[in-house]
């Protein structure tokens, strides 16, 4: 008899990815436990009851902001300064990103990895430093020139934009690019005509997202003296004029809301272009409006290119460069840098954990309802989204100063301040992820008789776990940079060392601290990227 060969079943897939996920999950919990242990929350008193009265006055002033005509004129002028910094900083960043994307793209280098690695490494320094750090350094070179606010946004955002633009170019189909190379075109020309056109939508969408971020960065720079709404907020806070503080906060929230709405409209139109129309009037109008604003901003800020190449600027650059090298290497400073770096990591971990927990708890309310909802549910959703907007409109140092009224100095006030601000950002992102998630599992459960809560819990939550954790890891990378900024204003972490070294003009120590900051952000970026890869 001839034996009949039965088809063998394929071998079971190895569970490497699941094991990696468990390993990263347990590692994350251990990191959170380590951060909690070092925060002082579990080992001693952290509250300062004497400050509760001041916080009460701060909260009570929210319903009676300053509405005097004179102060409103001041706020309006500060708003114009903030918009001018944001538009010019974001516009210059997009220009830098467009020029840097070609050498940063892996496609344009082909198999020559050394040039690509050097370019990517060169982008790590400018994007590794917070815009407030750049502002602090530029003030020592340019003085109080308005170029400080513009360049402090443009330099780090330009490096970030170049990296993102390069990634977008690497992801588009390469057929046209290869055809141009085969026809004898150079790599630059082939990139310009073969990769840029199919990537244009994503590039435009990200450019407007950068403009939204630049608005918040312009506010942040105001806290270190660059002018605008942030500067007015710092003045009102220092004098404890809470009514003026809330007027400025509401102006910030309105400005952020306008930027968010406009940016979202552009990104949605890019994602779903109008059929049968070669030129979209909304996108064309948005681009023309930004160009017009940029032209106005140059005149409003009275920017002079001569200030960048003046004799004084050249002398200051030469002095700082010669004074800052070699970096300081004494043992006491290195020990202080290590201790401050540990404190920075602890603050960032606690901030992201708090923000992620809050974003998950509010996700159902922050997302627009998928199913018909009553007026109460819709009103609650609007209030939740407005609350998240207020949280992210106020810069983290302001939250830190408020929390220091009721919390003893240490890791915890800075961590909670960053957590409150990050909750505003992450709550919006998680809400959008809920809105864009696949609705079919939940609809199937609803059709079988499940309640809306049950349908969401079992139909949507499993699919959202990965994206939410990926968003949290991405925000962790951003929070580490924000932690440095919080430290610049005295809330702890490595930023405190940078502020002290800069104030005393100890340039070798400044270089050492800056190197530590860049290394810290690079390590966190790499850890976050590996963790996100394990979650895919």
Identify the H or E element spanning 165: helix 147-171
Residues contacting 508, CB < 8 A, separation 6+: 323, 324, 325, 326, 327, 328
Predicted pLDDT at 2: 46
Confidence of residue 361 (pLDDT cuts 50, 70, 90): confident
Mean of the pLDDT values across residues 460-477? 75
Confidence of residue 321 (pLDDT cuts 50, 70, 90): confident
pLDDT surpasses 90 at 73: yes
pLDDT surpasses 80 at 369: no
Confidence of residue 535 (pLDDT cuts 50, 70, 90): low
* Residue that wins the pLDDT comparison between 161 and 492: 161
Best CA proximity match to 384, nearest among 353, 423, 439: 423
Confidence of residue 84 (pLDDT cuts 50, 70, 90): very high
pLDDT digits (tens, 9 = 90+) for 296-312: 999 998 888 888 888 88
The backbone torsions φ and ψ at residue 407, rounded to the nearest 5 degrees and listed phi first, read -120, 145
Best CA proximity match to 427, nearest among 462, 379, 468, 477: 468
CA atoms within 13 A on the CB side of 204: 25
Whether 82-273+281-314 shares its CATH topology with 324-535 is answered yes
pLDDT surpasses 90 at 170: no
Residues in the chain: 536
Average pLDDT value over all residues in the chain: 80
CATH number of 324-535: 1.10.3720.10
Q: Tell me the C-alpha distance between 522 and 366, whole Å.
A: 32
Check if the beta carbon of residue 82 is closer than 8 Å to that of residue 217: no
* CATH classification (class only), 82-273+281-314: mainly alpha
Q: Where are the domains of the chain?
A: 82-273+281-314, 324-535
Predicted pLDDT at 76: 92
Torsional sign, CA 65, 70, 73, 75: negative
Predicted pLDDT at 127: 80
Q: Tell me the C-alpha distance between 460 and 270, whole Å.
A: 26
Question: DSSP 3-state assignment of 375?
Answer: helix
Predicted pLDDT at 275: 65
The percent of residues above 70 in pLDDT, for the chain, comes to 86
Best CA proximity match to 336, nearest among 161, 483, 479, 495: 495
């Amino acid at each position: 008899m001839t034996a009949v060969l039965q088809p063998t079943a394929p071998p079971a897939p190895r569970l490497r990815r699941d094991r990696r996920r468990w390993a990263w999950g347990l590692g994350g919990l251990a990191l959170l436990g380590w951060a909690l242990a070092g925060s002082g929350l579990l080992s001693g008193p952290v509250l300062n009851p004497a400050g509760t009265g001041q916080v009460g006055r701060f909260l009570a002033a929210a319903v009676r902001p300053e509405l005097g005509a004179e102060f409103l004129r001041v706020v309006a002028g500060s708003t114009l300064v903030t918009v001018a910094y944001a538009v010019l900083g974001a516009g210059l960043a997009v220009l830098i990103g467009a020029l840097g994307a070609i050498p940063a793209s892996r496609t344009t280098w082909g198999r020559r990895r050394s040039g690509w690695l050097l370019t990517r490494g060169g982008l790590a320094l400018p994007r590794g430093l917070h815009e407030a750090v750049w502002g602090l350094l530029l003030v020592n070179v340019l003085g109080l020139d308005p170029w400080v606010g513009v360049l402090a946004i443009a330099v780090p955002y330009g490096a970030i934009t170049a990296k993102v633009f390069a990634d977008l170019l690497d992801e588009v189909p390469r057929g046209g690019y290869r055809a141009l190379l085969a026809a004898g075109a150079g790599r630059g020309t082939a990139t310009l005509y073969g990769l840029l056109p199919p990537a244009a939508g994503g590039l435009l969408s990200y450019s407007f997202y950068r403009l939204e971020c630049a608005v918040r960065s312009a506010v942040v720079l105001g806290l270190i003296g660059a002018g605008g709404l942030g500067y007015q907020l710092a003045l009102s806070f220092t004098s404890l004029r809470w009514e003026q503080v809330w007027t400025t906060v509401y102006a910030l929230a309105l400005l952020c809301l306008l930027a968010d709405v406009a940016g979202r409209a552009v990104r949605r139109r890019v994602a779903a272009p109008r059929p049968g129309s070669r030129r979209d009037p909304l996108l064309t109008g948005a681009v023309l409006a930004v160009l017009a604003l940029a032209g106005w901003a140059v005149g409003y800020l009275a920017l002079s290119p001569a200030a960048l190449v003046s004799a004084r600027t050249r002398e200051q650059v030469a002095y700082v460069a010669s004074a800052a090298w070699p970096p300081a290497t004494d043992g006491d400073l290195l020990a202080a840098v290590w201790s401050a770096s540990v404190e920075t990591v602890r603050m960032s971990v606690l901030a992201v954990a708090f923000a992620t927990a809050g974003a998950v708890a509010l996700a159902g309310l922050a997302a627009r309802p998928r199913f018909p909802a009553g007026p109460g549910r819709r009103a609650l959703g609007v209030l939740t989204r407005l609350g998240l907007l207020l949280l992210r409109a106020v810069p983290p140092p302001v939250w830190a100063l408020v929390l220091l009224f009721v919390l003893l100095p240490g890791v915890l006030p800075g961590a909670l301040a960053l957590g409150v601000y990050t909750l505003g950002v992450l709550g919006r992102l998680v809400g959008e992820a809920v809105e864009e998630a696949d609705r079919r599992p939940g609809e199937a459960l609803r059709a079988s008789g499940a309640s809306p809560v049950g349908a969401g819990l079992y139909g949507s939550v499993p699919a959202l776990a990965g994206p939410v954790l990926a968003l949290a890891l991405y925000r962790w990378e951003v929070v580490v940079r924000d932690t440095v900024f919080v430290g610049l204003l005295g809330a702890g972490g490595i930023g405190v060392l940078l502020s002290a070294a800069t104030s005393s003009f100890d340039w070798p120590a400044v270089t050492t601290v800056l190197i530590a900051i860049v290394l810290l952000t690079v390590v966190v970026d790499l850890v976050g990227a590996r963790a996100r890869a394990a979650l895919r």
